[in-house]
Structure 1
């Protein structure tokens, strides 16, 4: 065992491989090493004349110990590519706590989950705040007249964003039914291209698996993604008194090229105000 300094073991270097200078490897192998996060200069080559092979790089990436190698699926590769593209967009997330007392009573009356009610409310907010339903282009900001709500759906193959088209023209019951259809189709792998392309705004129900809050990444072609945290009893100050109320955290990620912080904040406040108002909830199309 070496506890300090540097020791060179000449028997570990093939006789026909120089002990200094760049490690011999082809450009594709060097590219693979970069993709896998492997320092190719530390890899012992087993190829001809000590050349580092692709298998050498993969073995180094696996590392010592009990490691399971999981090959990338086409869906996972597509997700990664989309996220890398979206990472170049200046994204900011703002948060608000919403008292869900009225929302819970209303959605239980309709026998639906909170999600379709929030989608319907978001469509209503988009009427007064059109930038939440817009997207950036090189020459202009393009505000959509239709709200195509993208729903983030967790599947065994990875995350799928499925589209409720013209959500602004649908009632809550129809939004709920369409959400169920899309979720089942996503998990069965039976969605069509029309089901997964063209979102103008996106919603992620992170609370469905217990998350309190998050910083969702924008979906392609959108300027806003809303994440709904888990609804749970929390201590809220109501009329000067601390009381337990069902509440959730709403996380709004927005494209800062399209919306400034003030515009995003006003839109999120408008959504919170609507969701906390029993009267306004009951005016949403059912």
Structure 2
């Protein structure tokens, strides 16, 4: 006999886009780097800013800022190859970031593109992310959009070939790099690995406390687990390693965050 608690539910239309994206991204030459970054100073400054201003600064916004600055220093990582084998290097760093918001009573993560993040302050990025979180329904689809999601999967998935076919169009629609923050859904450390359709993606994992040597002494530090994913067809190992080191330096130095005032 069947379990009376079993039920069959319709598959959400918007989730079809996620399925299409993951299938297309799985065909790219992705290389994943799992790194640990000391965020003790950054979190200390964010907490101090909250005490001084009463406003909780977005940690994701800070990471978006550091990512954009690192790409500004290594612009050839902010690039795509087109179908003719040419490399399109973008000056502006447009970051596609997942923000958690309420849609029809449910909490879910939706994409939002922060434009020209390499020319923005942490506060400016923070304000934009907060505005996106408070939007009524940032993924509200037009009638044409709803119909597009009902097309056969093979046709729908053609849109995810935009990075290879028309990199500039991909930038206009989805940004140049991506940040996905799985750490916001739970506590504790750990990495996440995900396929991506971007040349560079930063997957933010959890934060854990670990012992570290600081000034010759062992002390407890807050360690963030990051996964940096590259498309190896565009970025070689050397440039990728230098970019990651620059990103680590910026985060650990709490770049863009004012130090607490005395007293």
Q: Under a length normalisation based on structure 2, what TM-score does the superposition of the two structures give?
A: 0.72
Structure whose residues are more often strand by fraction: 2
Query: What is the aligned counterpart of 1:123 among 44, 51, 68?
Result: 68
Give the secondary-structure state (helix, strand or coil) at the position aligned to 1:246.
strand
Contact 1:152/1:160 (CA < 8 Å) preserved in 2? yes
| Kept in 1: contact 2:72–2:91 (CA 8 A) | no
Q: Which has the greater radius of gyration?
A: 1
- Residue correspondences, number: 216
Q: Which runs of 5+ in 1 are unaligned?
A: 1-62
User: In structure 1, how many angstroms separate the alpha carbons of the residues matched to 2:108 and 2:25?
Assistant: 17
Deviation at 1:81, TM superposition (A): 0.9
Q: Structure 2 residue aligned with 1:151, among 93, 97, 114? A: 97
Higher relative contact order (CA 8 A, sep 6+): 2
Distance 1:83 1:71 in 2: 20
Tell whether 2:180 aligns with 1:234: no
Give unmatched runs, 5+ long, in structure 2. Answer: 51-56, 146-171, 259-263
Residue matched to 1:163: 113
Asked if structure 2 preserves the Cα contact closer than 8 Å seen for 1:164 and 1:178, the reply is yes
Q: How many Å separate the matches in 1 of 2:136 and 2:244?
A: 29
The answer to whether residue 82 in structure 2 is matched with residue 137 in structure 1 is yes
Alignment match, 2:184? 208
Residue number in structure 2 paired with 1:34: none
Change (3 A) 1:234 1:154: same
Q: Tell me the C-alpha RMSD between the 2 structures.
A: 2.8
2:153 corresponding residue in structure 1: none
- Mapped to 2, the partners of 1:131 and 1:227 lie a distance apart of 20
Distance 1:248 1:282 in 2: 17
Per the normalisation by structure 1, the TM-score is: 0.67
Contact 2:37–2:251, Cα closer than 8 Å, also in 1: yes
The structure 1 segments of at least 4 consecutive aligned residues displaced by more than 6 Å after TM superposition are none
CA distances 1:150-198 after superposition (whole Å, capped 9, x unpaired)? 01235648653210111122211110011112223375645899xx923
